[in-house]
Amino acid sequence: MKNFKKSLQTLGAAALVAGSAFAITAPAVAQNSNVSLSDILRRVQQDSQQMSAEDQRRLQEFRQETAEQQSRMSEARSQLQAAEARGQAFSAEFDENERQLSELSAELETQAGDFGELLGQFRTAAGETMPIIRESLSNYEYGGRAEKLAEVSEARSLPTREDLDALPKAMLQEMIAQSEVKTFTTSVAGAGPEGEVADVELMRVGIFTAATTDDVRFVEVITDGTDEPYLRVLKAQPSGSFASAMRSLINSEPGETVITPIDPSKGDLFAVAGEMPTLEQRIQQGGPVGAVILFLLAVGAVFALFKIVTLFLMGSAMRRTAKTRKAGTGNPLARVFEAYEKNKHQDLESLELKLDEQILRESPKIERFNDVVKVLAAVAPLLGLLGTVIGMIITFTAITNFGAGDPKLMAGGISVALMTTVLGLVAAIPLLLLHAIASSMARGNQQILDEQAAGLVAERAESNTVTA
């Protein structure tokens, strides 16, 4: 109310000042106005009454809300007190339950005695056996055993008879699975046409080896970086002998004995065998130098085999001619006999020279291509040494650029160095053997010519002696 009176006084003062101003500045307008000071006072009083009624109404609402808030506050305090009382009751009940639980646990330990120690060992054994069965090939045919053992090993309550039987049953099932050769169907990653997961039939050999029955692809158990182990087709299958032996087992009849490969590492060894380079891949590791060595081997082998065959045929023809002593042009010995027939009427020294001349004319034909094979046999290991040097240069370059931390960076150069050496020896050894065979056969044919020529000269000398 005090604020209202101050406002009213201020309003009156403002009205008086305004009236005076109007009276001074605009007397004509004030004289013509119909609004008097009494009207203004009356209106101010009416506004004051309205504002006073509004204030009373608001004050009444405020008091009513304050009362309601007090009521709600009291109700909330009552609820809080009730909740605190229940909390205290629950806390006391919890403490009592904890006390009873401690007493019962102590009583259980006292009564269990050695059974508690046995139970601990049982749970330890179940925990150690569970991952072995979980990663076994037989687990994909006889499922649920690993989960049961995990539940038993992690349980806090006393195991039931069924729980106690789970461990020996799982171990017995695993022992039986080790002696089984069976087929079963399961999901295998990479077995689909596009490399996706597909349900395929597997042939399982114990708990060590498994392969698909349709296309004989070995599978492995993948455990690294996965929550659950799964089967996956080996990315690199082992050589054909393993697949052939496994195919024989798949196609065998019941009761038939078949020798088949076993991988005790459950696929790791087969994966290593599959990653081993084939003969073609090893030859490719030799690079351009290796290709040149193989080309020289092929050329030398062709020349050597051709020479061996021709010398063999030549020797056979010469032996037949030595028996018949028939002159002609079919082989070197026949041509020697032809030279003898043409010059047999000359003196002994001239005849001997004519025969030696014919033998010398035939010798290059007998020795032809032998020197080529010998040179190729000598060049092949030198090319291998060249490839070795190139491979070492590649290796040291890799070490200089990337360091020696990753052996795979040096594998290329080492492969070139080793494979070119191997290829050089592989080319040189058979070429040397073929050259030795060809040279021996050439000397044999040459010896036949020398023997027959010496015999002809001796016969001529004997006939001259008899005539004389």
Residue predicted with more confidence, 462 or 307: 307
Q: How far apart are CA 182 and CA 157, in angstroms?
A: 38
Q: Give me the pLDDT at residue 17, please.
A: 40
Distant-in-sequence, close-in-space partners of 322: CB < 8 Å, separation ≥ 6: 333, 448, 452
Best CA proximity match to 340, nearest among 462, 449, 465, 467? 449
Q: What is the pTM of this model?
A: 0.54
Alpha-carbon distance values, 112 to 108, 117, 125, 156 (Å) = 6, 9, 19, 15
Residues paired with residue 231 on neighbouring β-strands, in sequence order: 221
Residues paired with residue 219 on neighbouring β-strands, in sequence order: 233
Contact predicate 384/423, CB 8 Å: yes
What average pLDDT does range 416-435 have in this prediction?
90
Written as one string, the DSSP assignment of 258-315 is: ------TTTTHHHHHHHHS--HHHHHHHTHHHHHHHHHHHHHHHHHHHHHHHHHHHHH
pLDDT (tens digit, 9 = 90+) per residue, 263-286?
A: 887 777 887 777 777 777 778 878
Q: How far apart are CA 458 and CA 23, in angstroms?
A: 181
Query: What integer best gives the mean pLDDT of the chain?
Result: 80
Best CA proximity match to 152, nearest among 140, 142, 161, 141? 161
Q: How confident is the model at residue 190 (pLDDT cuts 50, 70, 90)?
A: confident
Residue 189 has pLDDT above 60, yes or no: yes
Q: How far apart are CA 359 and CA 239, in angstroms?
A: 56
Structure tokens at 207: 């708990």
Q: Domain locations in the chain?
A: 2-81, 115-179, 180-276, 285-467
